C-alpha cells in the first residue's frame, strides 16, 4: 500500500523553543543536563505531531543541536586539532566551539546548504583521525521507539555528499578519504540493521549537481558496499533540490528505494522516469509536496502527477513525500491571526504540508472521489489569491516593463567615477567602514516592542532611535572609522524592514525558519505586485549625516536578496519579481541622493544563494540578477558612491558577474575562508573598489591586531591597494557592545599599520 513520509521536520519549534534553549545554554543560564532534557522534549513533540497526523515513515535523526552536517562530522570524530579534542563522544564545548569559535580557536567555515537559505558548518578533514564516536541515528531510532512506539526512519547525510561538502583535502585524496569513512558508515548501518530498523534514508543531494565519471564509480562503490554489508536493510537513497542528470546510473544502484524531487526537479525527473522507466524492484519516493515553499499545493494537480507515476510504479512501491526536509519552512499557520483570510487560506507551513501528504496518500488509496471536498477547497483558495487586486496591478506591471526595456548603466565608467569620488571625499588609503548594523541591545528590542504595541508614540520611538544613532556616531568617530553608518536600530531584519514599507508584501507572526545555528529569520511573504509607497530610510540616514562631518552611508537591501530571503509568489517568474523590487529600490536610492547622502550601500549577500544548481541555468540567472542591481543603482550621479555587500559565498565562478554589477565598492565576507577567496583573485583581476572582511562577526571572540594585519597583507598581494577597503565580515547586529568596540579598534589599529607599510602608494 502507498505510504506517506516527510524527509525532515523543522527543529526550532512553534515558539522557537529550540533557539531559546540553545541561547540559554550558551549564556550559562541552563545547566547541561537540563539543556539535554529540554531538547529531548522538543524532539519528541515533533515526532508525536507527525505520528498523530498519520505520517507512515517518520524521520528520526533529522533533529540537531546545531547543524546536521556538523553532527555527521562529530559522529565520525572529524574535529580540527585547534579544539584539542582527545577522542570519544564529542563534548558540547567542542561541538559548539566548531560552530561558534572559542577564545583560543576560530570557528569552522559556514556556507550555504546548496541553493537554500540554510547554512551548514563545513567539515575540516585535514589531520582528522575519523572514528565512530557514537551512533547518532541508532540513538534517535531507539528514543522514538521506546518513548513513542514509533518505527522511525533514521536520516543520514550520505558519504559522497559529506565528502563533497568538506574541505581540507586535495582532490587526489578523495578516494583515500572515502576508504576511511566507508567502514564507519557500514558500522552505523550494521548497528541499525541489528536493532531491527526497517528503513534508512541516506541523503545524497549532491547527486543533483554535475557529477564526474569517477563520482559515478564512487557511488557504485559506496552503495554496493552497503548492499553487501547490510543486505536486509531497506535503504532509500534520497535526492532533492533539483533533478538528477545521471538517472540511469543512479536507479541502477543496489538500494531498496530512491527519492526524487518532483517540485524543483519536476521536469527532468518526470521525463527521465517516463523515458527510461523505473526499476521494478525499487520503491519510488515521490517528492510532490514542496519542502521549501509556503504555498498550498494544488492538490488536484499533485494527485494527477501521482496518478501519472502509478502508471509507471505500482502503488505498493510508492512513497508520497515532501520534496526535501521541511526544515526550510515555518512550523504551522495555526497561530497566524493577522493575515487576510484570502492569504492565510493559501498558505501551508510544515504541519499543513504533513496534512497534504496524508491526504494525497489517502487519495491514491481510495480515489479522488473520497477527497473531493478537500480538492475543491484547494482549487478555491488558490484561485481567490490569483484573482486578487494585489496580484493584478497594471500600473506597476507597465512601469516595470518600461524600465526593463532600457539598458541600466551609470553615466560614466568606473575609472572616471573613481576620480570624481576621490576628489569629493578625500578618503585615506585603505578607508575603514562597517557593513551597516550595530548591536541591537535588549534596550533597543524593548523600545521597538513598546512602539509596536502602541505603548510608545511614533515621536517617542523616533527620539529613542536618534539617541542610539548619536551614541554610535560618536563611538565610530572615537574608534577612528572613515565612513560611518547610522546603525540600523530601527530595523528588525534587513529584509522585513523594507518589506513592511513596500506594497505586495505580507508578514507572519510566527513564520520563523532556521538560517544557521540558533539564528532564525522570519521571511516576508511576497504575494502581490511590489511597489514603492514612500521613503523608507531617508529620515534616519539624513539625521545621522547631520551629526558628523564624516560621510554616512545610506543602507538598503538589494532586490535579489529581498527576493531570495523572502517566500515569493509562484505565479510569475522570479525574474519579474526581481525587476519589480529593483524599480521600487531605485526610487529609494534617488530619494537618498536628493537628501544629500552621497554614499549608498545596496546589500546583495544572497546573490550566490539563488544561483541555480544546474550549470545550464546559471548564466541566465546571473544576467537578470546583475540587471536588477543595476536598475536599482544606475541613475545616481558619478560622485555618488554605490557600495554593495556579499556573504557566505564561493565567488570563483561569478567574479565576472560581480564586476558587472558595477558597484563602486564591494565588501565580501571572507574571514572563515580567506585563503580560498584570495586564490580567486589570483586567478581573476578585479578592477573596482573592494573590501575583504578582516574578521568573523559570527564568533564572539575578539580578533587580535596581528590576525587582521595578516588578513590585510594577504589580500594586498592580489588586489590594488588604491582600491582596497577594510571592514568586518558582516553587520554587527548580533554582537555585544564592548566586543564590537574592541574588535573595531583592533581593526583600525591594523589599518594604521597597513597604511604605514604602504604609505608610498598615496
What angle (nearest 5°) sits at the alpha carbon of residue 413, between those of residues 409 and 418? 125
Bridge partner list, 200: 235
DSSP assignment of 24-92 equals HHHTTSS-HHHHHHHHHHHHHHHHHHHHHHT-SB-EES---SS-HHHHHHHHTT---GGG---SSSPPH
**307 annotated binding-site participant:** no
Residue 531 pairs in a beta bridge with 503
* Rounded distance between C-alpha atoms, residue 681 and residue 693, angstroms: 14
Asked whether residue 204 is marked as a ligand-binding residue, the answer is no
Which of these, 99, 50, 49, lies nearest to 71 by C-alpha position? 99
Known binding residue 549? Answer is no
Query: Nearest CA to 64 among 93, 82, 39?
Result: 39
CA–CA gap between residue 109 and residue 671 (Å, rounded): 9
Looking up cell 546583475, which residue turns up? 626
Beta bridge partners of 320: 4, 286
Choose, from 328, 486, 643, 698, the residue flagged as catalytic: 698
Residue 590 marked in a binding site: no
Task: Write the CA distances from 270 to 235, 258, 299, 308, integer angstroms.
Answer: 22, 14, 18, 10
634 labeled binding residue: no
Supply the angle between the helices 350-366 and 299-310 in degrees, to the nearest 10. Answer: 50
C-alpha cell belonging to residue 129: 583521525
Residue whose C-alpha cell is 521507539: 145
Q: What are phi and psi of 225, to 5 degrees?
A: -65, -45
Check the annotation: does 146 bind a ligand.
Answer: no
HSE-CB at 424 with a 13 A cutoff on CA atoms is 15
Q: Residue 337 to residues 240, 293, 332, 444, 660: CA-CA distances in angstroms?
A: 33, 20, 12, 26, 44
609 is in an annotated binding site: yes
Does the annotation place 743 within a ligand binding site? no
Ligand-binding annotation for 112, yes or no, is yes
Helix (H) or strand (E) holding 447: helix 442-452
Q: Annotation-wise, does 574 bind a ligand?
A: no
Is 324 among the annotated ligand-binding positions? no
How far, CA to CA in Å, does 594 sit from each of 589, 591, 597?
9, 5, 7
Is 273 known to sit in a ligand binding site? Answer: no
**Cβ–Cβ contacts within 10 Å for residue 616, how many?**
9
Q: Is 649 annotated as a binding residue?
A: no
Is residue 335 annotated as involved in ligand binding? no
Give the distance from CA 624 to its chain's centroid: 20
Distance CA 262, CA 289 (A): 8
Neighbours of 685 (CB within 10 A): 11
Cell, residue 100: 561558534
Q: Is 437 helix (H, G, I), strand (E, B) or coil?
A: strand
Which of 7, 141, 132 shows the shortest CA–CA distance to 78? Answer: 132
CA gap 514, 328 in Å, rounded? 7
CA distance 330 to 521: 10
Cα-Cα-Cα-Cα torsion 175, 178, 183, 186, nearest 10 degrees, comes to -130
Q: Which three cell numbers stand for residue 56?
A: 507512515
Catalytic status, residue 698: yes
Name the packing angle between helices 32-53 and 17-26 (round to 10°). 170
Question: Cα(724)–Cα(751) distance, rounded to whole angstroms?
Answer: 11
Secondary structure of residue 670 in the 3-state scheme: coil
**Helix (H, G, I), strand (E, B), or coil: what is residue 156?**
strand
In 3D space, the residue among 26, 115, 120, 126 whose CA is nearest the CA of residue 69 turns out to be: 120
What stretches of 174-265 show up as alpha helix (H) in DSSP?
Answer: 174-195, 213-229, 247-251
Q: 3-state DSSP call for residue 660?
A: helix
CA triple 335-341-347, angle to 5 deg? 65
Per the annotation, does 730 bind a ligand? yes
- Does the annotation place 436 within a ligand binding site? yes
Length of the chain, please?
762
Q: Which residues are catalytic?
A: 698
Annotated binding-site members for L-methionine: 435-437, 488, 603
Annotated binding-site members: 16-19, 112, 435-437, 488, 519-520, 565, 603, 609, 645, 647, 669, 730
Annotated binding-site members for L-homocysteine: 435-437, 488, 603
Annotated binding-site members for 5-methyltetrahydropteroyltri-L-glutamate: 16-19, 112, 519-520, 565, 609
Annotated binding-site members for Zn(2+): 645, 647, 669, 730
Amino acid at each position: 500500500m502507498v505510504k506517506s513520509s516527510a524527509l525532515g521536520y523543522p527543529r526550532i519549534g512553534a515558539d522557537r523553543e529550540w533557539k531559546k534553549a540553545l541561547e540559554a545554554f550558551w549564556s550559562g543560564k541552563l545547566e547541561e543536563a537540563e539543556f539535554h532534557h529540554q531538547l529531548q522534549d522538543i524532539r519528541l513533540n515533533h515526532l508525536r505531531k507527525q505520528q498523530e497526523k498519520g505520517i507512515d515513515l517518520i524521520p528520526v535523526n533529522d533533529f540537531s543541536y546545531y547543524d546536521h552536517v556538523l553532527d555527521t562530522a562529530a559522529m565520525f570524530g572529524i574535529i580540527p586539532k585547534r579544539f584539542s579534542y582527545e577522542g570519544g563522544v564529542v563534548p558540547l564545548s567542542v561541538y559548539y566551539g566548531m560552530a561558534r569559535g572559542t577564545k583560543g580557536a576560530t570557528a569552522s567555515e559556514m556556507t550555504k546548504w546548496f541553493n537554500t537559505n540554510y547554512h551548514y558548518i563545513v567539515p575540516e578533514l585535514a589531520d582528522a583521525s575519523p572514528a565512530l564516536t557514537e551512533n547518532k541515528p541508532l540513538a534517535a531510532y531507539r528514543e522514538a521507539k521506546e518513548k513513542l512506539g514509533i518505527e522511525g526512519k533514521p536520516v543520514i547525510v550520505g558519504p559522497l555528499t559529506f565528502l563533497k561538502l568538506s574541505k581540507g583535502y586535495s582532490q587526489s585524496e578523495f578516494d583515500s578519504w572515502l576508504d576511511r569513512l566507508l567502514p564507519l558508515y557500514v558500522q552505523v548501518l550494521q548497528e541499525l540493521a541489528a536493532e531491527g530498523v526497517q528503513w534508512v534514508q541516506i541523503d545524497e543531494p549532491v547527486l543533483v549537481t554535475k557529477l564526474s565519471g569517477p563520482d559515478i564509480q564512487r557511488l557504485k562503490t559506496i552503495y554496493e558496499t552497503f548492499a553487501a554489508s547490510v543486505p536486509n536493510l531497506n535503504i532509500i537513497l534520497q535526492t532533492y533540490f533539483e533533478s538528477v542528470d545521471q538517472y540511469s546510473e543512479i536507479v541502477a544502484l543496489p538500494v531498496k528505494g530512491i527519492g526524487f524531487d518532483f517540485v524543483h526537479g519536476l521536469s527532468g525527473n518526470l521525463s527521465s522516469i517516463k523515458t527510461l522507466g523505473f526499476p521494478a524492484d525499487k520503491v519510488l519516493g515521490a517528492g510532490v509536496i514542496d519542502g521549501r515553499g509556503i504555498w498550498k499545493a494544488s492538490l488536484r494537480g499533485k494527485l494527477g502527477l501521482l496518478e501519472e507515476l502509478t502508471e509507471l510504479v505500482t502503488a505498493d512501491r510508492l512513497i508520497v513525500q515532501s520534496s526535501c526536509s521541511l526544515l526550510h519552512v515555518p512550523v504551522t499557520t495555526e497561530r497566524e491571526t493577522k493575515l487576510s483570510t484570502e492569504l492565510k487560506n493559501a498558505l501551508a507551513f510544515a504541519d499543513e504540508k504533513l496534512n497534504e501528504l496524508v491526504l494525497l496518500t489517502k487519495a491514491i488509496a481510495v480515489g479522488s472521489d473520497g477527497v473531493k471536498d478537500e480538492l475543491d477547497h484547494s482549487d478555491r483558495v488558490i484561485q481567490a489569491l490569483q484573482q486578487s487586486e494585489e496580484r493584478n496591478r497594471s500600473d506597476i506591471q507597465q512601469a516595470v516593463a518600461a524600465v526593463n526595456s532600457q539598458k541600466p548603466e551609470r553615466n560614466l565608467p568606473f575609472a572616471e567615477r573613481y576620480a570624481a569620488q576621490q576628489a569629493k571625499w578625500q578618503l585615506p588609503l585603505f578607508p575603514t567602514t562597517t557593513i551597516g548594523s550595530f548591536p541591537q541591545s535588549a534596550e533597543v528590542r524593548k523600545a521597538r516592542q513598546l512602539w509596536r504595541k502602541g505603548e510608545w508614540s511614533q515621536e517617542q520611538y523616533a527620539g529613542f532611535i536618534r539617541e542610539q544613532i548619536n551614541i554610535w556616531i560618536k563611538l565610530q568617530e572615537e574608534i577612528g572609522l572613515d565612513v560611518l553608518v547610522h546603525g540600523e536600530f530601527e530595523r528588525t531584519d534587513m529584509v522585513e524592514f523594507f518589506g513592511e514599507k513596500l506594497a505586495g508584501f505580507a508578514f507572519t507572526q510566527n513564520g520563523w525558519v532556521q538560517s544557521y545555528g540558533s539564528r532564525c529569520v522570519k521571511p516576508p511573504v511576497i504575494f502581490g505586485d511590489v511597489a514603492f509607497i514612500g521613503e523608507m530610510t531617508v529620515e534616519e540616514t539624513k539625521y545621522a549625516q547631520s551629526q558628523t562631518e564624516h560621510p554616512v552611508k545610506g543602507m538598503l537591501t538589494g532586490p535579489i536578496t529581498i527576493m531570495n530571503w523572502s517566500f515569493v509568489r509562484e505565479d510569475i517568474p522570479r525574474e519579474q519579481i526581481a525587476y519589480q523590487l529593483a524599480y521600487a529600490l531605485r526610487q529609494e536610492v534617488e530619494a537618498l541622493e536628493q537628501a544629500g547622502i552621497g554614499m549608498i550601500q545596496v546589500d546583495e549577500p544572497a546573490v550566490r544563494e539563488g544561483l541555480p544548481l544546474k550549470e545550464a541555468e546559471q548564466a541566465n540567472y546571473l544576467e537578470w540578477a546583475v540587471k536588477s542591481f543595476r536598475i536599482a543603482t544606475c541613475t545616481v550621479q558619478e560622485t555618488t558612491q554605490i557600495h554593495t555587500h556579499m556573504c557566505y559565498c564561493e565567488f570563483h565562478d561569478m567574479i565576472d558577474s560581480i564586476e558587472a554589477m558595477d558597484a563602486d565598492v564591494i565588501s565580501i565576507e571572507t574571514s572563515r575562508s580567506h585563503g580560498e577567496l584570495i586564490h580567486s583573485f589570483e586567478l581573476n583581476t578585479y578592477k573596482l573598489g573592494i573590501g575583504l572582511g578582516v574578521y568573523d562577526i559570527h564568533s564572539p571572540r575578539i580578533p587580535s591586531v596581528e590576525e587582521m594585519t595578516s588578513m590585510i597583507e594577504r589580500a594586498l598581494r592580489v588586489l590594488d591597494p588604491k582600491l582596497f577597503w577594510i571592514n568586518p565580515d558582516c553587520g554587527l547586529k548580533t554582537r555585544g557592545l564592548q566586543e564590537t568596540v574592541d574588535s573595531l579598534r583592533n581593526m583600525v589599529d591594523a589599518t594604521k599599520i597597513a597604511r604605514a607599510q604602504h604609505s608610498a602608494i598615496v
